[in-house]
Amino acid sequence: MQGFAGFMWLLSIALIIFSGFALFDAAVRREDAYRAADKKTKPFWMIILGLAFVVNLLFPILSFLPIIGLIATIVYMVDVRPAIRALPGGGRSSRGSSSDGPYGPWNGGR
């Protein structure tokens, strides 16, 4: 029985890391990228993924709430994230490079 408890603990930690990564990834994407990819809005996904992260922290893996959070995280990772990453710039917030001029990069686009 102790081996099963250890496995469930590792599975719980893996779910926390997975949902935390998805939450962080959703946070660094631009707001307009969600609309451009036609995948709801950034606040919607931040709330859903934030709830999934908190549920994975608070509830044991054998209850149904972490499973719902896992499904939401998987939907984000296999549907929303690839659609946003396919957009020009990858949907990431860009603050510009040190080689950017007022009309684009000085280094010829490298």
pLDDT score, position 100: 59
pLDDT score, position 62: 73
Backbone angles phi, psi at 31, to 5 degrees: -60, -45
Q: Where are the domains of the chain?
A: 2-89
pLDDT score, position 28: 93
What residues have CB less than 8 Å from 55, skipping those under 6 apart? 65, 66, 68, 69
Give the pLDDT means over successive 10-residue stretches in the chain (110 positions). 86 94 94 90 95 91 86 95 86 58 60
**pTM for the full predicted model:** 0.76
pLDDT score, position 93: 62
Beta bridge partners of 100: 105
Amino acid occupying residue 81: R
pLDDT score, position 1: 73
